[in-house]
Structure 1
Amino acid sequence: MKPMKEQTKITQWGNSKAVRIPDNVVEQLNLKNDDELSVTIENGAIVLTPLAKKPTNIHELFDGWIDDGVRDAEVDWGAPMGNEFRE
């Protein structure tokens, strides 16, 4: 990631303040609209950090997964200890 220095300013937005993030910063970080960021203060600086996106469905959960074809054998959990189902 190449270092960059940009300028922006604080503006009023409803009852809050807002800062615009330049497009080239958004693109370099691969951010999208509605991505969530954490806001922290470190050494007198405002630090915005993208939060990891949580999957909302099974397709997102396994997006990019490649099946390696490896299958484990059945696990032996030992003898029944209570009212487990028996065949």
Structure 2
Amino acid sequence: MLLTKIKNWGNSQGLRIPKSILKQIDVKNIAEDDVMLTVDGEKLIIEKAPKKSKLMQRFSNFDYEKYLKENKSDRVVDKGKPVGRELW
């Protein structure tokens, strides 16, 4: 257990977390490792966030709903004649 103070940091409040504490939750690179904050009653819980795959990182700002609205398509795609036991 570590006793520390919350201090003003611009218009927000900040909390310094020692490296030894971050090491315990496997946060090694503070520039790349994200953390999740959760409130449970009067407890603030800090957990290391799961890593996103490279593909998820590339699409993290992609707005799927906006894309669908902007690219509506009512066209039918012809996939050729049936070749097996298709239902259509």
Interval containing the TM-score (normalised by the shorter chain) = 0.5 to 0.7
CA distance in 1, matches of 2:54, 2:86: 37
Q: Identical aligned pairs, as a percentage? A: 26
CA distance in 1, matches of 2:23, 2:45: 18
Paired positions, count: 58
Tell me, yes or no, if the aligned pair for 1:37 and 1:48 is still in contact at 8 Å: yes
1:81 paired residue number: 86
TM-score by structure 2 length?
Answer: 0.54
CA distance in 2, matches of 1:14, 1:81: 64
CA distance in 2, matches of 1:8, 1:23: 14
1:17 paired residue number: 13
Aligned Cα root-mean-square deviation (Å): 2.3
Q: Which blocks of at least 5 consecutive residues in structure 1 are unaligned?
A: 58-77, 83-87
More helix by share: 2
Q: Which blocks of at least 5 consecutive residues in structure 2 are unaligned?
A: 56-82
TM-score by structure 1 length?
Answer: 0.54
